[in-house]
Amino acid sequence: MDKEIGIKEVARLAGVSIGTVDRVIHNRSGVSPNTFDRVTKIISETGYKKNNVASRLKLAKSSTLNIAVLLPNEAYQESHYWHLPLQGVEKAIEELQGMGITYELFTFYMGNEDSFESAANEIFKNDFDALLTVPFFYDACHKITTEKNQHNIPIVFLDTKQELSHCYFIYQNSYKSGAVAGRLLHQVIGKKGNYVIVSLTNTNIREKNMVEREAGFRAFMQEHTKVAEERIFSIQNSSNNLSAVKTAFEQIANSEPLGIFVTNSRAYLLTEILKRSKHLNTTMIGFDLNANNLALLNENKIQYVLNQKPDFQAYNAIKGIFKLLTEGNSSSLSTDIPVEILIKENLM
Amino acid sequence: MDKEIGIKEVARLAGVSIGTVDRVIHNRSGVSPNTFDRVTKIISETGYKKNNVASRLKLAKSSTLNIAVLLPNEAYQESHYWHLPLQGVEKAIEELQGMGITYELFTFYMGNEDSFESAANEIFKNDFDALLTVPFFYDACHKITTEKNQHNIPIVFLDTKQELSHCYFIYQNSYKSGAVAGRLLHQVIGKKGNYVIVSLTNTNIREKNMVEREAGFRAFMQEHTKVAEERIFSIQNSSNNLSAVKTAFEQIANSEPLGIFVTNSRAYLLTEILKRSKHLNTTMIGFDLNANNLALLNENKIQYVLNQKPDFQAYNAIKGIFKLLTEGNSSSLSTDIPVEILIKENLM
DNA sequence: CTGAAAGCGCTTACAG
DNA sequence: CTGAAAGCGCTTACAG
């Protein structure tokens, strides 16, 4: 079989030494055009593929691949959402043990664009082979994907897709996840009920994901259901002050079933309000399996949780970075992670 | 860091040659008890771990790990359910490229226990390092996990957990998946609707999975809902003759919403019946994303599909077998794969 | 521009 | 029972 052909055989067929074949494989300088062509031809004819295991064994010590991972400061807290990507990173690094790849964790503060930018600059100053991070500050991210990236290392973003080039995204399509929420709620509530989309933020910025989830939800409702637009309410609250939400809830007719779509991880904040509300027949769907949501899912106070699988995203990112760095293949670095639907019974 | 310690350093500390360290690591004969203890002590003190990459590079050619994969004959059909585990196998083998692991596919006929047993015997006669298969014939599986396994190679079963020892299972808990179906349907249908559990088989054996799914569904209903038992009907049909199902459907009151739980992959068979039935408000849930179910999910004729992720099961099996064979670690070979909930909007 | 040689960490056939 | 040496397939510093 073609598979078994190694560098030695290619060298023999091309009439050169294995050192020269290696130079061609890696596009290193110092090969005459003539030789280059001859070797290239043999490689494509034989279907030769570099043995990555041997390659990494040789290189593991002298040129360990070092990935900078830049996450929100909360990554250090074991119970926190931002700890999950770290777990995915660790799992991938563990699987690649012996292949000469490590990572170093850097953090920034969610509310502080400067902290992000200076951490990134620190990373670029040092000799990392790739950067894995999250694109929450658009301007800073624009900078780091362009002029700041002196050594032109691959940059992979998790969590959110942004309009940025010279970089990769591994994320969940928020528009689609809004549609998933739409389908699940509509299935239960039907066209005669009411729907409320709750977007609670603790800053005055509505995250891109939240906006897209609402858009996906509304588009689903419009295209696939007969729910009248007047039955779909939006509540936005920029200071996490729940009394505004409470007031809004009171204004929604409570004689009909109510579907509640929380566009971020804060669904757990609503259960207190619901307890005191006159709405008896509610179904709630939110995002992310934090400890609060998990507990409420188990108590059936929240019915559905959509999971962005941040650990899986990061796991795939590291595997993809490794593939890019060792095989020049970036195909796994632009992935739309499917929306995972969790209910009490399929929790792990 | 401890990580960086290699066989050379262990040899130096123990005052022996690296060959001897290697003998100790692999528990090979021909090491004096004294030397053995000294080396073992150094290994545990230093936390030395074999470099699997170097090990596999050395061994890849001379002792390639060869996994026998024994699946239903339908595995050859690209569009068939049983082709999916094969895809998982291939993905895992691909990822382990260069580590010296291959597989060979064998098949049997679903209705024919002998074909399974003789394929297994053929496998045992040859020199495979592990067997990956499915445990559909209890007696034959009992034999192959006991007396027939002459070389005592690891046997891993996919799809279904059985009461068998000396083997591993990577499967989905069918009882749990029944509960998932229960929750999803109950959420939509509520206590005033009717429920029907449909188990269509083309043999007169009801598969273990189907029985457990029904049990899990019924247990969920009883424990977590107020649905009266009289509202839950079971339809069993041993010859895939749909007229019996049709008759049964006609006997269920059609004034109320109807939840249909199909305990296997044949949900698609019911849509024709439903089209002609008087039941207007139905919600159907079934298993497995075959081409028929996929099409009907897209047309909203089936609302939920529970996925056993046969590809993921097989992928994990191969990865786990590799880990067992190279590190003696079987921890990933007994896995309960979570139930994946699919609706039209989160299909990949 | 090219080749011969050493070495990554482990394994094994051989010699003693 | 133990060690020295060769070699897995690739990479690189060195010599020419």
- Select from A54, A338, A343 the Cβ nearest to the Cβ of B57: A54
Residue from B134, B151, B158, B178 nearest B286 by CA: B178
Instruction: Specify the 3-state DSSP secondary structure of A115.
Output: helix
Task: Give residues with Cβ within 8 angstroms of A177, minimum separation 6.
Answer: A213, A216, A287, A306, A308, A339, B346
Among candidate residues B151, B169, B217, the one with its CA nearest the CA of residue B189: B217
In the predicted model, what is the mean pLDDT of residues A92-100?
95
- Domain-embedded: residue A343: no
Please name which of A132, A78, A90, A87 lies closest in space to residue A107, comparing C-alpha atoms.
A132
What's the rounded Cα separation, in Å, for the pair A99 and B118? Answer: 41
Give all strands of the β-sheet with A282-287 in edge-to-edge order: A232-237, A194-200, A258-262, A282-287, A304-307, A340-342
Instruction: Check whether residue A31 has its CB closer than 7 Å to nucleic acid strand D.
Output: no
Q: Name the closest residue on chain B to residue A53, using Cα atoms.
A: B98
How far is Cα B122 from Cα B328, in angstroms, rounded to an integer?
26
Same structural domain, A152 and A204:
no
Residues A95 and A199 in one domain: no
Does some domain include residue B58?
no
* Paired sense of beta strands A232-237 and A258-262, if any: unpaired
* Gyration radius (Cα) of chain A, Å: 25
- Residue B345 belongs to a domain: no
Contact assessment for residue B131 and residue B70, using Cβ atoms and an 8 Å cutoff: yes
Give pLDDT, residue B1.
Answer: 41
**Residue B266 and residue B233 share a domain:** yes
Structure confidence at residue A3 as a pLDDT band (50, 70, 90): low
Q: Does one domain contain both A157 and A112?
A: yes
| Residue B288 and residue B197 share a domain | yes
Are A158 and A98 contained in the same domain? yes
β-bridge partners, A11: none
CB contact under 8 A, B343 and A344: no
* CA neighbor of A195 nearest in space, from A245, A262, A276: A262
In a domain, A348, yes or no: no
CB B5 within 8 A of CB B47: yes
Structure token digits, residue A202: 């603790």
- CATH value at residue B321: 3.40.50.2300
- Is the CA virtual torsion B44, B46, B47, B52 positive or negative? negative
Phi and psi for B97 in degrees, rounded to 5? -55, 130
Number of residues that this document lists for chain A: 348
Q: What torsion, rounded to 10 degrees, do the Cα atoms A7, A11, A12, A17 define?
A: -120
A314 plus A298 within the same structural domain: no
Q: Are residues B167 and B268 in the same domain?
A: no
B343 touching A, CB under 8 A? yes
> Please, how many CA atoms are within 13 Å of residue A258, restricted to the half-sphere of its CB?
23
pLDDT at residue number B307: 97
Domain co-membership, B35 together with B144: no
For residue B44, being part of any structural domain is answered with yes
Q: Cβ contact (<8 Å) for B99 and A56? A: no
Instruction: Kindly report the number of other CB atoms within 10 A of residue B202's CB atom.
Output: 13
Question: Does residue B30 lie within 7 Å of nucleic acid chain D, judged by its CB?
Answer: yes
In chain B, what residues touch A339 (CB-CB under 8 Å)? 345-346
Residue carrying the six token digits 């809830």: A249
What backbone torsions phi and psi does residue A20 show, to the nearest 5 degrees? -65, -40
Least CA distance to A54: which residue of chain B? B57
Q: Is the pLDDT of residue A72 over 60?
A: yes
Bridge partners of residue A335, in order along the sequence: A170
CB A289 within 8 A of CB A312: no
The pLDDT value recorded for residue B2 is 41
pLDDT at B273: 85
A70 - beta bridge partners? A106
Neighbours of A115 (CB within 10 A): 17
Query: Could you tell me if A46 and A1 are in contact, meaning their C-beta atoms sit under 8 angstroms apart?
Result: no
Count: domains in chain A: 3
| Cα nearest neighbour of A298 on chain B | B224
Instruction: State whether B73 and B178 are in the same domain.
Output: no
* Distant-in-sequence contacts of B151-154, Cβ < 8 A, 24+ apart: B151/B124, B151/B127, B153/B124, B153/B128, B153/B129, B154/B129, B154/B130, B154/B321, B154/B324, B154/B325, B154/B330, B154/B333
Q: Do A72 and A310 meet the contact criterion of CB atoms below 8 Å apart?
A: no
Nearest beta carbon to residue B98 from set A53, A224, A338: A53
CA angle (A214 as vertex; A203, B297 as ends), nearest 5: 145
- Distance between CA B103 and CA A52 in Å, rounded? 20
- Cβ distance of B346 and A52 shorter than 8 Å: no
The angle formed by the CA atoms of residues B215, B220 and B224, to the nearest 5 degrees, is 160
| Amino acid symbol at A53 | V
CA distance B279 to B99: 57
In a domain, B59, yes or no: no
Task: Tell me if A266 sits within 8 A of A200, measured CB to CB.
Answer: yes
| Among candidate residues A274, A238, A272, the one with its CA nearest the CA of residue A259 | A274
Residue B8: exposed, middle, or buried by beta-carbon count in 10 A (0-12, 13-18, 19+)?
exposed
pLDDT along chain B (348 residues), means of 10: 75 91 88 89 92 95 95 94 96 95 96 94 94 95 90 94 95 97 97 93 79 97 93 83 83 88 94 83 94 94 97 97 95 94 96
Neighbours of B186 (CB within 10 A): 21
Question: What is the 3 state secondary structure string of B165-231?
Answer: CCCEEEECCHHHHHHHHHHHHHHHHCCCCEEEEEEECCCCCCCHHHHHHHHHHHHHHHHHCCCCHHH
The answer to whether some atom of strand D lies closer than 7 Å to the beta carbon of A26 is yes
Q: How far apart are CA B319 and CA A301, in angstroms?
A: 38
| Cβ-proximal residues to A179 (8 Å cutoff; 6+ apart), any chain | A216, A217, A219, A220, B345
Does residue B134 lie in a domain region? yes
Using the beta-carbon criterion (under 8 Å), do B188 and A184 form an inter-chain contact? no
Give the torsion sign (CA, B107, B109, B112, B115).
negative
* Any B CB within 8 A of A52 CB: yes
pLDDT score at B3: 52
Which nucleotide lies nearest residue B60, CA to C1'?
D8
Question: Which CATH number does the domain housing residue A8 bear?
Answer: 1.10.260.40
By three-state DSSP, how is residue B242 classified? helix
Cβ-Cβ contacts under 8 Å, A283 against chain B? 187
Which range of residues forms the domain containing residue A45? 2-50
- Which residues does chain A have within 8 Å of residue B220's beta carbon, measured at their own beta carbons? 345
Q: Is the minimum distance from the CB of A20 to strand D below 7 Å?
A: no
pTM (2 d.p.): 0.93
Question: Quick check: B94 contacting A, CB < 8 Å?
Answer: no
Instruction: Kindly state whether A179 is in contact with chain B, defined as any CB-CB distance less than 8 angstroms.
Output: yes
Grouping H, G, I as helix, E, B as strand and the rest as coil, residue B285 is: strand
| B333 shares its domain with B280 | no
Answer for A143: CB within 7 Å of strand D.
Answer: no
Q: Give the model confidence (pLDDT) of A194-211 as tens digits.
A: 999 999 887 766 688 999
Q: Name which of B225, B341, B344, B347 to mutate to probe chain A: the one with the most chain A Cβ atoms within 10 A of its Cβ.
A: B341
What's the pLDDT score for residue B204?
Answer: 62
Question: Same domain, yes or no, for A303 and A186?
Answer: yes
| pLDDT of the residue at A202 | 76
Nucleotide nearest to B9 (CA to C1'): C9
Q: Is the CB of B107 under 7 A from strand D?
A: no
The answer to whether A5 contacts chain B (CB < 8 Å) is no
Distance between CA B263 and CA B235 in Å, rounded? 10
In a domain, B346, yes or no: no
CB-based contact B106:B69 (threshold 8 Å) = yes
Q: Which residue among B177, B179, B346 places its CB closest to the CB of A180?
A: B346
